[in-house]
């Protein structure tokens, strides 16, 4: 699936590059009777009872806003922001802010289990990334010890 995600932008760039190589004169666009109205994407919103795919846009938008507010956002900040828009804290998992030797963790990973899928977002030194994945064999979204969400 990842290769298809990478292929589309590469194909688009190649098509645009080849379009400029034509020896024919460019034809003016055909006239239309109605002006095309610009389309705007609907704003991201939490979809109660929705799938992971339905809620990924608001999951990402919320996590990115949390990072924009604080580039070193803590696990509490991620969980609280996601809960604030409607995600259930009981369905969340989050990694610790500090390592076992009391250093600041390079990565904070937060997940929300929705049905049989997991929204997983990660803040790290190279920015933010997210994906929808299947739960691991334990039924959880994250591997290893996560901190209890009791706040």
Backbone angles phi, psi at 36, to 5 degrees: -75, 130
Task: At 48, list the tokens.
Answer: 């109660």
Provide the residue ranges of all domains of the chain, joining segments of one domain with +: 50-151
Per-residue pLDDT at 43? 86
Residue 6 clears pLDDT 90, i.e. is over it: no
Confirm if 78 and 149 have CB atoms less than 8 A apart: no
pLDDT tens-digit readout, 77-114: 999 999 999 999 999 999 999 999 999 999 999 999 99
Q: What average pLDDT score do residues 49-59 get?
A: 98
CA distance 117 to 8: 25
139: left (phi over 0), alpha (psi -120 to 50) or beta: left
Per-residue pLDDT at 12? 33
Strand, coil or helix: what is 98?
strand
Strand, coil or helix: what is 60?
helix
Q: What is the pTM of this model?
A: 0.72
């Amino acid at each position: 699936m990842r290769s298809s995600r990478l292929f589309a932008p590469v194909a688009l760039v190649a098509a645009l590059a080849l379009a400029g190589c034509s020896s024919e004169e460019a034809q003016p666009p055909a006239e239309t009777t109605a002006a095309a109205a610009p389309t705007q994407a609907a704003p991201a919103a939490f979809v109660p009872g929705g799938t992971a795919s339905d809620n990924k846009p608001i999951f990402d938008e919320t996590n990115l806003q949390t990072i924009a507010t604080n580039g070193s956002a803590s696990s509490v900040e991620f969980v609280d922001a996601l809960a604030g828009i409607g995600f259930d804290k009981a369905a969340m998992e989050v990694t610790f802010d500090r390592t076992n030797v009391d250093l600041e963790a390079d990565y904070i990973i937060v997940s929300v289990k929705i049905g049989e899928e997991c929204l997983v977002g990660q803040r790290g030194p190279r920015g933010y990334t997210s994906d929808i994945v299947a739960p691991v064999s334990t039924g959880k979204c994250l591997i290893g010890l996560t901190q209890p969400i009791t706040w």
